[in-house]
């Protein structure tokens, strides 16, 4: 069975609540979900924690994800947000392991693993980000890095729960830089990720899991990524912020 396509916007630390609601209204007025359905595309956004509740309320069917969460349910972790807190406001998707969190907040693959296990235990879907830095890329270490991130990040995630995971391959050197990886690189690494999933979880899980590419995806280049056999969609930062550009991304899939 053909896999669905998935377009997810990561808003990072952008959009006030009012701006986020306006985006949702534009999505509704432009019938984006109707377009997405007709193309077999899942559509989602990941707003700031502060906007989640309002975006969920105005989402009109969009998948709404948090950009992170804590692995503990509660406790002395100033500024953190737990999975039960997200659950309470109707959120059941989360991005984990974005390179900005790995870089600025020391989210190692081990920390990501703890978060992923808490999320899937609570019935959440996870977009798990992996990818190498420029130095690692130049040293030819891409697949070693991605392998470590997959093996550690998914440690003790069961065969049943792997169906709740989406993997996003995001080379760090391409995020927000305008230097997007070629579609050949994206396909090579995404097919490698699928082969890792096959080794860990078997053929059926590997054939079903959605693997996204992320890194300077724009309306004018999304199509070439989505043409690749093992690229099932895109995780998009900058180009997902304006509803017009989000719409163009969708139209060009
Ligand atoms: C991202 O933040 O995950 C991302 C891919 O950003 P951008 O599209 O801006 O490179």
Interval 172-230: pLDDT, tens: 999 888 888 999 999 999 999 999 999 999 999 999 999 999 999 999 999 999 999 99
Residue 212 near residue 241 (C-beta atoms within 8 A): no
pLDDT exceeds 80 at position 39: yes
pLDDT digits (tens, 9 = 90+) for 63-79: 999 999 999 999 999 99
pTM over 0.85: yes
Residue 11 near residue 243 (C-beta atoms within 8 A): no
Q: Which residues are catalytic?
A: 98, 170
Q: How far is the CA of 235 from the centre of ligand 1 (A)?
A: 7
Q: How many CA atoms lie within 13 A of 103 on its CB side?
A: 13
Give the residue, out of 213, 216, 240, with the most ligand 1 atoms within 8 A of its beta carbon, to mutate for a pocket test: 216
Q: How far is the CA of 109 from the centre of ligand 1 (A)?
A: 19
Alpha carbons 116 and 129: distance in angstroms, whole number: 11
Q: What average pLDDT score do residues 130-134 get?
A: 96
Alpha carbons 1 and 112: distance in angstroms, whole number: 30
């Amino acid at each position: 069975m053909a896999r669905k396509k998935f377009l997810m916007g990561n808003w990072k630390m952008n959009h006030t609540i009012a701006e986020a609601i306006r985006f949702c209204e534009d999505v509704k007025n432009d019938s984006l979900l109707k377009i997405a359905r007709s193309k077999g595309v899942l559509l989602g956004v990941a707003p700031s924690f502060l906007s989640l509740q309002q975006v969920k309320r105005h989402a009109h069917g969009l998948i709404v994800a948090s950009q992170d969460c804590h692995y503990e349910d509660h406790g002395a972790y100033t500024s953190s947000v737990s999975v039960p807190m997200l659950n309470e406001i109707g959120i059941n998707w989360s991005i984990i392991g974005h390179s900005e969190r790995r870089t600025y907040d020391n989210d190692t693959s081990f920390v990501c693993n703890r978060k992923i296990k808490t999320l899937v235990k609570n019935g959440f879907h996870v977009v798990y980000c992996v990818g190498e830095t420029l130095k690692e890329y130049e040293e030819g270490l891409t697949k070693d890095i991605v392998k470590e991130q997959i093996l550690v990040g998914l440690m003790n995630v069961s065969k049943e729960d792997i169906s709740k995971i989406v993997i996003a391959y995001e080379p760090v050197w391409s995020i927000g830089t305008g230097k997007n990886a070629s579609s050949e690189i994206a396909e090579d690494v995404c097919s490698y990720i699928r082969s890792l999933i096959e080794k860990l979880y078997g053929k059926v899980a590997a054939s079903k899991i959605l693997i996204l590419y992320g890194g300077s995806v724009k309306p004018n280049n999304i199509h070439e990524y989505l043409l690749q056999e093992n690229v099932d969609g895109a995780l998009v930062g900058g180009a997902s912020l304006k509803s017009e550009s989000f719409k163009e991304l969708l139209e060009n899939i």
